[in-house]
Structure 1
């Protein structure tokens, strides 16, 4: 079962690869500093995930104006995420959930990713979006079953504007 509006956001620590090397990012350290938008995506270097994160990167000033930090999460290793970010111009922080632990905690893991195409990869993140307020409470939750569907970014911005 996925995390829902009103739940306390489960804390986690994941690796982010930066120009200075790998860094640990802990959600709890960010709570209280800004609102947080968590975006889970299935896989780096895929069309939908690239389009989503490039769009967010290009419009990051809108999220900054809404006092929101955007974090992208996938099960890819941090070195692949860094290569993806450099190749595509993705500027949001990318966090590696390589063991799929956070994906499972948030209840957004596929049991079988694209079984119709015989891609039986359990644990892959469903495209999902969560808005977490400065108190650490989930104010928006959207979990999509179809990998090509995109979150409702207008609704996300409206929730952020109300915080």
Structure 2
């Protein structure tokens, strides 16, 4: 009995550690101050399909790139609504917003109308190249994106990173990072 007790405790402890790791969100490995990987992808805004280029968007100002698991799911719909409602604030800070998922462009064209309300584009990363470059692949389901948001400065460096499966704070965190950056930036 004494010999089985330590094994049981060890087994229980190991099970607990594995469960905690599996339940905890993955954190983006791209660090603040590093160069953001460039990308060009098919995107849709207000149902219109076009090609989105990060390099071109950065010429106009900072860019918020947010990754989300899948269009038309509950959390992703909430997050799209939140970004749509805050677009005036993002635009006032000179920022472009783009959502990125693995969804096909046809699906995203519909999502851009109904859930993004035509206010910002969503991009199709069907081959997951962008998700992988930004370390935003969901560990427990590698076909999906981890809910991670980045603010990228016009010079291409990462200003802020926020990774959390709960969509409720992504918009606020990205706006706060942009405001802090704007406060430190020289006036044009």
TM-score (norm 1): 0.85
1:105-120 aligned within 5 A: 105-113=133-141
Contact 2:61–2:154 (Cα < 8 Å) also in 1: yes
Contact 2:42–2:50 (Cα < 8 Å) also in 1: yes
1:110 & 1:19 partners in 2: Cα distance? Answer: 27
1:1-163 aligned within 5 A: 2-18=29-45, 22-88=49-115, 89-113=117-141, 122-144=142-164, 147-163=165-181
Q: What's the offset of the Cα at 1:161?
A: 1.2
Q: What's the offset of the Cα at 1:140?
A: 0.1
Query: What SS does the aligned partner of 1:162 have?
Result: helix
TM-score (norm 2): 0.74
1:96 & 1:60 partners in 2: Cα distance? Answer: 20
List alignment gaps of at least 5 residues for structure 2: 1-27, 182-188
Runs of 4+ in 1 over 6 A off after TM superposition: none
Going from structure 1 to structure 2, the CA distance change for 1:59 and 1:20 (only over 3 Å counts) comes to closer
Q: What's the offset of the Cα at 1:162?
A: 2.4
List alignment gaps of at least 5 residues for structure 1: 114-121
1:137 & 1:87 partners in 2: Cα distance? Answer: 32
Report the more deviating stretch, 65-74 or 16-25.
16-25
Contact 1:53–1:92 (Cα < 8 Å) also in 2: no
- The structure that has the greater radius of gyration is 2
The answer to which structure has the higher strand fraction is 1
1:68 & 1:19 partners in 2: Cα distance? Answer: 18
Between Structure 1 and Structure 2, how many residues are aligned?
A: 153
2:29 & 2:44 partners in 1: Cα distance? Answer: 27
The answer to which structure has the higher helix fraction is 2
Going from structure 1 to structure 2, the CA distance change for 1:152 and 1:77 (only over 3 Å counts) comes to closer
Query: What SS does the aligned partner of 2:126 have?
Result: coil
2:146 & 2:44 partners in 1: Cα distance? Answer: 22
Contact 1:15–1:96 (Cα < 8 Å) also in 2: yes
Q: What's the offset of the Cα at 1:2?
A: 2.3
